[in-house]
């Protein structure tokens, strides 16, 4: 646990020291701000759905840019040798990296809180969907981080890590839309595995336990795969 | 402190370490010597827990590296060949990070950072980003992190490569001092380094141990195999031919009037050589016997391996 926090702290600091996190956050804020301000939902429903709809897609594209360096860079620079020879469990390394990324992502999403703040100042928004929407967005973001860490553990090339993660995320997201074209039973099963299946509920203010369990399971699964991939690298 | 038994490592189908066994006792400084691609780094990476062996057993500081790697790693300091450093950290935060991972508490980290920065002469650079340090100073930071937790076992993979002679001397002195309290395995292909710092040497070549002994014993194991250098005025080919006929002479090579005679183990045919040359009517201008240097031993061991195949 102590080691996990040490690694998380180090990763969080190195995000603050490198331009990538600022660039990603900046573009994310500009883009979501744009969609928030042009979305009719903002004015007719005083909801943040305009932000959320854009935020989901942007997270899928941007979270991997935050995670791509976490392990790939260590491999490239050889610093992975420091971590893997320190008296630290492979799971602590992965969890530490995950928590570091989670920290920066949470800060990034925290900065968007001024959208609901604007609504509160100038209107009377329904807080349920806002809270649930943020919960959904965080969960989805953490899932994306876990997938990004997994792909970063597979290669020493950061670009490859990011592109593969974005590929997996988009596939998991859009497979839900494809599901409606399939026979009902099959479509339902596939829909169950889709990242997009649960998000509309959160936007409507419904905190569905199945959705929470789904996001947490996918996150856990990919963190587990990342730990296995790190372990495997010792045997290659 | 270090025990290696029948260690074998394949990278895919490529054999890098081939069934080697050796021990390093507490307090020893052992040189791990071998040409490029001999398998030194591979062996060290297994000793430090970075990689798992394909076959064989490794114990470090009393722990089985396969089943208790985590405990063993607590007691190992490792200077990796690539000198891995986080270039976006300052020397202080880098040392702090690694000391924490090795379980030192806050106060001790503070004193130990002070200690190692002093030992490695990094005082002025403690708050400088590692990315801005020169190669030699990065090397020192690498040494500093290896000793910050006062490990029982130090594994140093070519710590003196690419630094200036003054620093090389300093590093060797440091290794010697560290050897008083730590067990050290030092890999290098610089031979004088071994004779300067190590009590014992393990020579590895193409993944196998070619020789293992104290430096003095190694020289005599080659059979006190002496070499004699001659200068003779006479027809080169005939002189060489005549020298080869002398009992105890193994090999003769020459260039112009300089001859190098390699003698069989335990033989000293200097008398016969002198006599033969004088009898043939040539004149002996000089004759000296040369002890084999570590370099010679190394070459002899590694090249003989090859001709045996
Ligand atoms: N990660 C790797 N993947 C595949 N082969 C490797 C890997 N690392 C080393 N090898 C191979 O294993 C053999 C031994 O390499 P190793 O790095 O252990 O040699 P070394 O004795 O440290 O050499 P040097 O003096 O050049 O550092 C070499 O043939 C090398 O090509
Ligand atoms: Mg090497």
For A164, residues 6+ apart whose C-beta sits below 8 A from its C-beta are A151, A154, A155
B152 within domain boundaries: yes
Cβ pair A235:B74 closer than 8 A? no
Q: Give residue B103's region: left, alpha or beta (phi > 0; psi -120 to 50).
A: left
**Among the ranges given (A73-82, A104-113, A116-125, B180-189), the one the predictor scored with the smallest mean pLDDT:** A116-125
Phi, psi of B14 (to 5 degrees): -90, 125
Domain boundary among B220, B244, B273: B220
Q: Are residues B172 and B230 in the same domain?
A: no
Q: Looking at this predicted complex, what is its ipTM?
A: 0.91
**A88 Cβ under 8 Å from any chain B Cβ:** yes
pLDDT over 70 at A20, yes or no: yes
The DSSP bridge pattern shows strands B249-255 and B258-263 to be antiparallel
Per-residue pLDDT band at B260 (split at 50, 70, 90): confident
Split into its structural domains, chain B has a count of: 2
B19, B8 Cβ separation under 8 angstroms: yes
Q: What is the DSSP secondary structure assignment for residue B128, as one 8-state letter?
A: S
* Rounded distance from Cα B80 to ligand 2 centre (Å): 9
Ligand nearest to the CA of A80: 1
Contact A234 B51 (CB under 8 A): yes
Q: Show which of B168, B196, B220 is a domain's final residue.
A: B220
pLDDT of B309 above 50 = no
A17/chain B closest Cα distance in angstroms: 8
Q: Are residues B174 and B258 in the same domain?
A: no
- pLDDT band at residue A213, thresholds of 50, 70 and 90? very high
Residue nearest to atom 8 of ligand 1 (CA): B42
Q: Do A236 and B89 touch (CB under 8 A)?
A: no
Q: What's B231's domain CATH number?
A: 3.30.70.1340
B261: enclosing H helix or E strand: strand B258-263
pLDDT digits (tens, 9 = 90+) for B62-86: 999 999 999 999 999 999 999 999 9
Closest ligand 1 atom, CA of B41?
22
Q: Do residues B239 and B183 share a domain?
A: no
Task: Collect all residues of chain B within an 8 Å Cβ-Cβ radius of residue A13.
Answer: 93
For residue B151, give the CATH number of its domain: 3.40.50.300
pLDDT digits (tens, 9 = 90+) for B267-284: 778 888 888 888 888 988
Cβ of residue A86 closer than 8 Å to a chain B Cβ:
yes
Residue B294's pLDDT is what? 61
pLDDT-derived band at B219 (thresholds 50, 70, 90) equals low
CB contact under 8 A, A18 and B89: no
Shared-domain flag, residues B107 and B255: no
Name the residue range of residue B280's domain: 224-291
Q: Give per-residue pLDDT as tens, B293-302.
A: 666 667 766 6
Quote the CA–CA distance of A110 and B184 in Å, as a whole number. 50
Upper half-sphere CA count for residue B129 (Cβ side, 13 Å): 6
Q: Identify whether residues B79 and B96 lie together within a single domain.
A: yes
Kindly compute the dihedral angle of the four CA atoms of residues A99, A100, A102, A107, in this order, to the nearest 10 degrees: 140
The answer on B268 and B174 residing in a single domain is no
Q: How far apart are the first and last CA of chain B?
A: 34
The pLDDT score that the predictor gives to residue B181 is 85
**Same domain for B129 and B25:** yes
Q: Tens digit of pLDDT for each residue in A37-74?
A: 888 777 777 778 888 888 999 999 999 999 999 999 99
pTM: 0.86
Q: Which residue, of B194, B220, B246, is where some domain finishes?
A: B220
Residues B12 and B158 in one domain: yes
| pLDDT tens sequence across A165-192 | 999 999 998 887 777 777 777 777 777 7
Does B86 lie in the same domain as B194? Answer: yes
Same structural domain for residues B143 and B41?
Answer: yes
B113 and B245 both lie in a single domain: no
Residue of B nearest to A81 (CA): B50
Rounded to 5°, angle at Cα B203 from B299 and B208: 100
DSSP result, B183-248: EEEEEES-HHHHHHH-SEEEEEETTEEEEEEEHHHHHHHTTS--EEEEEEES-HHHHHHHHHHSTT
Residues B145 and B238 in one domain: no
């Amino acid at each position: 646990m102590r080691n996990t926090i040490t690694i998380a702290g180090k990763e969080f600091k190195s995000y603050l020291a490198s331009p990538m996190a600022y660039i990603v956050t900046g573009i994310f804020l500009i883009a979501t701000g744009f969609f928030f301000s042009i979305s009719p939902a903002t004015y007719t429903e005083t909801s943040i759905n305009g932000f959320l709809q854009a935020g989901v897609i942007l997270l899928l594209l941007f979270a991997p840019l935050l995670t791509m360096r976490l392990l790939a860079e260590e491999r490239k620079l050889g610093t992975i040798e420091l971590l893997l020879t320190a008296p630290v469990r492979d799971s602590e390394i992965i969890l530490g990296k995950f928590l570091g990324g989670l920290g920066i992502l949470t800060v990034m999403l925290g900065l968007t809180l001024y959208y609901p703040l604007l609504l509160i100042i100038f209107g009377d928004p329904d807080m349920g969907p806002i809270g649930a929407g943020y919960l959904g967005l965080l969960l989805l973001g953490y899932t994306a981080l876990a997938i990004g860490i997994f792909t970063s553990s597979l290669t020493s090339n950061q670009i490859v890590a990011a592109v593969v993660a974005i590929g997996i995320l988009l596939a998991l997201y859009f497979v839900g839309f494809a599901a409606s074209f399939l026979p009902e039973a099959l479509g339902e099963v596939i829909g169950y595995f889709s990242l997009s299946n649960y998000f509309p509920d959160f936007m409507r203010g419904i905190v569905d336990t199945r959705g929470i369990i789904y996001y947490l399971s996918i996150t856990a699964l990919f963190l587990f795969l990342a730990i296995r991939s790190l372990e495997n690298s010792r045997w290659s | 402190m270090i025990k290696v038994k029948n260690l074998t490592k394949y990278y895919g189908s490529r054999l890098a370490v081939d069934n080697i066994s050796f021990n390093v006792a507490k307090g020893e400084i052992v040189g791990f010597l071998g040409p490029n691609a001999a398998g030194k780094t591979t062996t060290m990476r297994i000793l430090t827990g970075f990689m798992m062996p394909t076959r064989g057993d490794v114990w470090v500081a009393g722990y089985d590296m396969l089943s208790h790697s985590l405990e063993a790693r607590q007691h190992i300091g490792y200077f990796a060949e690539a000198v891995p450093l986080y270039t976006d950290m300052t020397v202080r935060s880098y040392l702090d990070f690694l000391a924490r991972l090795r379980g030192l508490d806050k106060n001790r980290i503070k004193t130990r950072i002070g200690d190692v920065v002093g030992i490695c002469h990094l005082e002025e650079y403690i708050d400088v980003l590692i990315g801005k340090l020169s190669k030699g100073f990065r090397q020192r930071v690498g040494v500093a992190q290896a000793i910050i937790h006062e490990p029982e076992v130090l594994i140093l993979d070519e710590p003196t490569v690419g630094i200036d002679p003054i620093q090389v001397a300093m590093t060797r002195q440091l290794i010697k001092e560290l050897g008083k309290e730590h067990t050290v395995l030092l890999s290098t292909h610089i031979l004088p380094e071994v004779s300067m710092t190590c009590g014992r040497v393990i020579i590895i070549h193409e993944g196998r141990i070619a020789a293992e002994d104290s430096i003095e014993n190694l020289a005599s194991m080659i059979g006190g195999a002496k070499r004699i250098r001659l200068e003779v005025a006479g027809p080169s080919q005939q002189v060489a031919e005549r020298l080869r006929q002398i009992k105890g002479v193994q090999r003769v090579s020459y260039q112009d009037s300089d001859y190098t005679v390699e003698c069989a183990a335990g033989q000293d045919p200097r008398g016969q050589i002198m006599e033969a040359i004088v009898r043939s009517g040539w004149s002996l201008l000089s004759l000296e016997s040369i002890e084999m240097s570590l370099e010679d031993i190394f070459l002899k061991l590694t090249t003989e391996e090859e001709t045996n195949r």
